[in-house]
């Protein structure tokens, strides 16, 4: 059987790249019976009945990782696109995205758009947040409309990696892709002033060759869920907590009401930002309130 990678999924078809061409394929019915589904990014084995006919995906190879929203597999890094204005920068939404990527062992990169729209006092406030996230170990890119050096700055980040581009609707993902791939001509979403968010402009998931790497644009969405994160795992998704958690008195400390918790001490000392800890508490409550799965 031939082998390739699913580069696009659309209307029930999977487009498999075999190193030379895209083959339009269907998935075997057995996948549906098993509750499995091929994903963009999957390495698969497929067969062709005749030359030029549609193919059939026979086997999905083991995955490095997979995301549900967006539905994609074998991702090296996630570029989280957040506008600083229209819609405004939102730390709790950013932290939701970061936590989910961390839980799937996908390396996050923060890309801030529309920096040119900020007033001076807004810029100063934002720089404080940027320093916070950089101190946690995250790469933060600040981008401007019409920035000529953007491709040069993204080249070393994208090269040799499979990256997912994700974020709220209206934050500039399509504009960013149009900059990277001028021939793509993606329709740029118009911001809905009444809702404060953009209209969905992307309808399917596709891996595109960009800067000697692969980049997935994904349908616009507003949040990630914590359905696959257990309460004992949440702390590991906050890098600054990981650095001090080994000093907690109790093994398996959830950093809530336990005595001699090193994380809470670090929060009180200002070593861990209070807003990050509050987000941790909120996410933990959400996980604990989740209905049990049967």
Mean pLDDT of 190-212: 59
- List the beta strands (DSSP E) in 153-229: 162-166, 191-192, 197-198, 205-210, 213-217
pLDDT greater than 80 at residue 228 = yes
pTM for the full model?
0.83
pLDDT greater than 80 at residue 59 = yes
Q: Are 89 and 142 in contact (CB under 8 A)?
A: no
Confidence of residue 68 (pLDDT cuts 50, 70, 90): confident
Residues of the binding site for Zn(2+): 248, 253, 255, 261
Q: 């359905």: which residue's tokens?
A: 227
Q: 């970061």: which residue's tokens?
A: 98
Q: Are 26 and 19 in contact (CB under 8 A)?
A: no
Mean pLDDT of 152-175: 86
Report phi then psi at 187, rounded to 5. Answer: -65, 125
Residues of the binding site for GTP: 113-116, 167-175
Decide: helix, strand or coil at residue 177. Answer: helix
pLDDT greater than 60 at residue 220 = no
Average per-residue pLDDT for the chain: 87
pLDDT greater than 60 at residue 188 = no
Residues of the binding site: 113-116, 167-175, 248, 253, 255, 261
Confidence of residue 183 (pLDDT cuts 50, 70, 90): low
Largest CA-CA distance found in the chain, in angstroms, rounded: 68
């Amino acid at each position: 059987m031939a082998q390739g990678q699913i580069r696009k999924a659309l209307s029930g078809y999977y487009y498999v790249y075999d190193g030379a061409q895209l083959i339009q394929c269907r998935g075997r019915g057995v996948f549906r019976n098993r509750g499995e589904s091929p994903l963009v990014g999957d390495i698969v084995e497929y067969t062709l009945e005749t030359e030029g006919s549609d193919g059939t995906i026979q086997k999905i190879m083991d995955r490095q990782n997979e995301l549900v929203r967006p539905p994609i597999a074998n991702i090296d890094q996630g570029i989280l696109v957040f506008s600083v204005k229209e819609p405004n920068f939102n730390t709790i939404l950013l932290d939701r995205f970061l936590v989910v990527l961390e839980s799937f062992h996908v390396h996050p990169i923060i890309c801030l758009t529309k920096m040119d729209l900020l007033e001076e006092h807004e810029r100063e406030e934002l720089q404080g947040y940027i320093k916070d996230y950089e101190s946690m170990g995250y790469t933060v890119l600040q981008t401007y409309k019409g920035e000529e050096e953007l491709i040069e700055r993204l080249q070393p980040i994208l090269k040799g990696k499979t990256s997912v581009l994700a974020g709220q609707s209206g934050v500039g993902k399509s504009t960013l892709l149009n900059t990277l791939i001028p021939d793509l001509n993606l329709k740029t979403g118009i911001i809905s002033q009444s809702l404060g968010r953009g209209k969905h402009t992307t309808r399917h998931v596709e891996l595109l060759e960009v800067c000697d790497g692969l980049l997935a644009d994904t349908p616009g969405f507003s949040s990630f869920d914590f359905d696959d994160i257990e309460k004992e795992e949440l702390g590991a998704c906050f890098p600054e907590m990981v650095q001090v958690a080994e000093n907690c008195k109790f093994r398996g400390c959830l950093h809530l009401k336990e005595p001699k918790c090193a994380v809470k001490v670090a929060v009180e000392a200002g070593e861990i930002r209070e807003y990050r800890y509050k987000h941790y508490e909120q996410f933990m409550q959400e996980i604990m309130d989740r209905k049990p799965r049967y």
